[in-house]
């Protein structure tokens, strides 16, 4: 498995929409039966596509960054923007309230997400966080895998705003894992 940017160029060209946070896997024909389900199980959470090659091996492509689009289709978009002089968001936000845990170099705590876009996420905090601090956020994702398996969303980035009991981060990287 490679991050999109590390994948061989011939695989990158199969998925021109790929970005750094996406992944690519090449599976030989002999291993398809064993590996296809673990890769395709992520489809309820984010898009996973595949292309069969001439040798009957398959290249799989996953786009975790697209997970929010699937949530947006089911969720409530936030349509009331801030006044023009206060709106700093570059992407459409979606209301999403999920349990979360955050960590900065000096603080850690738990709360809930408030809203999210493809570039940022707002969440509640237990204390005032330091603006511009690096933060990691783990969110219990509202979509589960087949068999009721929980999913956890991971984001890392920098705090863009901080106020008592609330913060917003710009996401530099995102990923998903099987939750607890």
- Strands, E, within the chain: which ranges? 2-3, 23-27, 48-52, 58-62, 76-77, 94-95, 99-103, 108-116, 120-124, 134-140, 151-163, 166-178
Contacts 24+ apart (CB under 8 A), 6-10: none
Torsion of CA 163, 164, 170, 171, to 10 degrees: 180
Read off the pLDDT of residues 100-139 as tens digits, 9 standing for 90 and up. 999 999 999 999 999 998 889 999 999 999 989 999 999 9
Degrees, nearest 5: CA angle 34-36-37:
90
Q: What is the SS3 assignment for 94?
A: strand
6-10, 66-70, 112-116: least confident range? 66-70
So what CATH class is 68-178?
mainly beta
Residues of the chain with CATH 2.40.10.220: 68-178
| pLDDT value at 75 more than 90 | no
């Amino acid at each position: 498995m490679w991050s999109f940017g590390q994948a061989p160029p011939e695989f990158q060209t199969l998925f021109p929409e790929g970005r750094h946070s996406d992944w690519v896997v090449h599976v030989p024909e002999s291993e398809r039966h064993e590996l296809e389900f673990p890769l395709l199980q992520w489809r309820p959470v984010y898009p996973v596509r595949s292309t069969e090659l001439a040798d009957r091996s398959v290249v799989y492509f996953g786009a975790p960054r697209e997970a929010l689009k699937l949530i947006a289709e089911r969720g409530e978009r936030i349509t009331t923007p801030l006044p023009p002089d206060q709106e700093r968001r570059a992407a459409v936000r979606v209301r999403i309230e999920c349990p979360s845990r955050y960590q900065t170099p000096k603080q850690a705590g738990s709360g809930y997400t408030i809203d999210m876009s493809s570039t940022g996420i707002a969440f509640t905090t237990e204390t005032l966080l330091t603006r511009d601090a690096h933060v990691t956020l783990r969110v219990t994702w509202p979509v589960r895998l087949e068999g009721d398996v929980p999913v956890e969303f991971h984001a890392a980035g920098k705090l863009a705003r901080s106020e008592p009991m609330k913060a917003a981060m710009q996401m530099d990287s995102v990923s998903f894992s099987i939750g607890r």
